[in-house]
Amino acid sequence: MQEITEILVEYIKENQNKLYRIAFSYTKEEESALDIVQESIEKALKNIHQLKTTEYIKTWFYRILINESLQYVKKNKKLIMYSIDDLEKNIYWEEDIQKDDIDIYKCVQKLNDKLKTVIILRFFEDMKIEEIAKVTNTNVNTVKSRLYKALEELKKAVEK
């Protein structure tokens, strides 16, 4: 059990920026995103005994993180405003953000939570469809249909 805990802690350290970005994509608030990551880490450490093999650490932790993010959004049914300046100045982004990236990001934020989750995991986190199915606890065909629908909605938004 000690070994799997150490592997989880190492995974979290190596991926802290990615984890923050995912939480931020739901909250659009730095403090709230940091709180969600912290709560996810606490929950993962408390429930580490449920993880049978280290092979599934990534999908297992992403599921916890996304569930915590969605719970936050449901609890705080307020409109969270953000500006392009906030995104451009955010120190947690790994790469330089281009204007086109911000426009696409803003379009993704307008999708419903299920579609947004699939897009974020597939294109921003570079997960395979099978991994997304595990994280979202849905079947592969559902992920594919959500991905297709989300891409169609994004295409319409970008054309406007």
What is residue 87's predicted lDDT score, i.e. its pLDDT? 47
Rounded to whole angstroms, how far apart are CA atoms 29 and 26?
9
DSSP assignment letter at 97: P
**CA pair distance 52, 49, nearest whole angstrom:** 7
Q: Indicate the CATH number for domain 98-160.
A: 1.10.10.10
State the pLDDT at residue 51.
86
Q: Which pLDDT score is estimated for 132?
A: 93
Cβ(105)–Cβ(113) under 8 Å?
Answer: no
Q: Where are the domains of the chain?
A: 1-81, 98-160
Strand, helix or coil for residue 92: coil
Domain 1-81, CATH: 1.10.1740.10
User: The tokens of 91 are what?
Assistant: 């120190």
- Tell me what percent of the residues of the chain surpass a pLDDT of 70: 82
∠ Cα 9 44 28 (to 5°): 95
Burial class (CB in 10 A: 0-12, 13-18, 19+), 119: buried
Stated pTM of the model: 0.75
Tell me the mean pLDDT in the region 22-29.
88
pLDDT digits (tens, 9 = 90+) for 35-92: 999 999 999 999 998 888 888 899 999 999 999 999 998 888 654 444 444 544 454 4
Q: Distance from first CA to last CA of the chain, Å, rounded?
A: 53
The mean predicted confidence, pLDDT, of the chain is: 83
Write the CB contacts of 66 (distance below 8 Å, at least 6 apart in sequence): 22, 117, 135, 136
**Residue 143, pLDDT above cutoff 70:** yes
Is pLDDT larger for residue 134 or for residue 88?
134
With cut-offs at 50, 70 and 90, classify the pLDDT of residue 93: very low
